[in-house]
């Protein structure tokens, strides 16, 4: 748990540095999002682990839904800009959800019919949204900063399980993981330097290191994988 007041004060003191590095993180975020959509369509497969898609969509949509809190109650440039950035992020995540529904049944639940698979995924999304709201209250994360940390942390391990099982670059690419690595490195550097003492604990530093190292590890691992035989080209 942290108090939002000193965090916002720290952000005001370092506004231009925060804008520069967090802006870079968001540019990298959109780069790998677009590359993942492109790769999923090209290889006709799910590009993002289902758990990650649902967790990110539940968390980011929760932040977007709190428009009044950011623009009326808090009325601070940081949360307003993040709200705008996450509107685009949620749109991308809805595309990931569509790709999951379109291509996921054959790989992950071949015994289900398409309506059954769709109902299962949507029910999972509803459960994830409810669980996210409960966990957010428990951990005391008024500005969604620790949520972003967790969102960055879960990507590589869940993706690794999916990629290892496939044994090829199906649904992924070095571009995706290079941009993901740059995104988390930029975000964690900004939070460690300019978001205040609440984000400089040993636990936070361990999370920053593990998240960045695992993302870089995925980049190196994916580079060595063969292209899928069904791919028309590689990114």
Report the number of distinct structural domains present in the chain. 1
Assess contact for 195 and 145: CB atoms under 8 A. yes
- How many CB atoms are closer than 10 A to CB 48? 28
d(Cα 41, Cα 39) in Å, to the nearest integer? 5
Q: Does the residue 192 lie in any domain?
A: yes
Tokens of 16: 């231009």
pLDDT of residue 229: 78
pLDDT of residue 1: 83
**CB-based burial label for 82 (10 Å; 0-12, 13-18, 19+):** buried
Q: Does the residue 233 lie in any domain?
A: no
Nearest CA among 211, 195, 177, 190 for reference residue 28: 177
Q: Does the residue 228 lie in any domain?
A: no
Output DSSP code: residue 227: P
Q: Does the residue 133 lie in any domain?
A: yes
Rg (CA), the chain: 18
Q: Does the residue 37 lie in any domain?
A: yes
Output DSSP code: residue 112: S
Digit-by-digit pLDDT tens for the chain (235 residues) are 899 999 999 999 999 999 999 999 999 999 999 999 999 999 999 999 999 999 999 999 999 999 999 999 999 999 999 999 999 999 999 999 999 999 999 999 999 999 999 999 999 999 999 999 998 888 899 999 999 999 999 999 999 999 999 999 999 999 999 999 999 999 999 999 999 999 999 999 999 999 999 999 999 999 999 998 754 443 3
Q: Is the dihedral of CA 223, 228, 233, 235 positive or negative?
A: negative
Q: How far is CA 19 from the centre of its chain?
A: 19
Nearest CA among 166, 154, 150, 162 for reference residue 204: 150
Q: Does the residue 230 lie in any domain?
A: no
Q: Does the residue 204 lie in any domain?
A: yes
The whole domain housing 213 covers 4-223
pLDDT of residue 76: 98
Q: Does the residue 160 lie in any domain?
A: yes
pLDDT of residue 137: 86
């Amino acid at each position: 748990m942290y108090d939002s007041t000193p965090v916002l004060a720290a952000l005001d003191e370092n506004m231009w540095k925060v804008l520069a590095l967090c802006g870079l993180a968001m540019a990298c975020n959109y780069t790998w999002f677009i590359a993942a959509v492109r790769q999923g369509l090209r290889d006709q497969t799910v590009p993002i682990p289902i758990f990650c898609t649902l967790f990110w969509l539940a968390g980011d949509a929760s932040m977007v839904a709190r428009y009044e809190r950011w623009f009326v109650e808090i009325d601070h440039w940081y949360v307003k800009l993040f709200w705008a950035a996450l509107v685009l992020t949620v749109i991308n995540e809805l595309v990931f959800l569509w790709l999951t529904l379109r291509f996921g049944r054959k790989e992950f639940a071949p015994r289900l019919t398409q309506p059954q698979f769709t109902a299962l995924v949507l029910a999972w999304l509803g459960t994830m949204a409810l669980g996210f709201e409960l966990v957010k209250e428990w951990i005391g994360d008024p500005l969604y900063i620790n949520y972003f940390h967790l969102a960055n942390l879960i990507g590589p391990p869940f993706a690794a399980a999916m990629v290892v099982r496939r044994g090829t670059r199906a649904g992924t690419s070095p571009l995706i993981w290079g941009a993901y690595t740059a995104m988390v490195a930029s975000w964690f550097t900004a939070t460690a330097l300019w978001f205040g003492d609440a984000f400089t604990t040993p636990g936070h530093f361990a999370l920053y290191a593990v998240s960045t190292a695992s993302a870089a590890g995925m980049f190196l691992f994916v580079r060595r994988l063969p292209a899928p035989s069904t791919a028309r080209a590689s990114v």
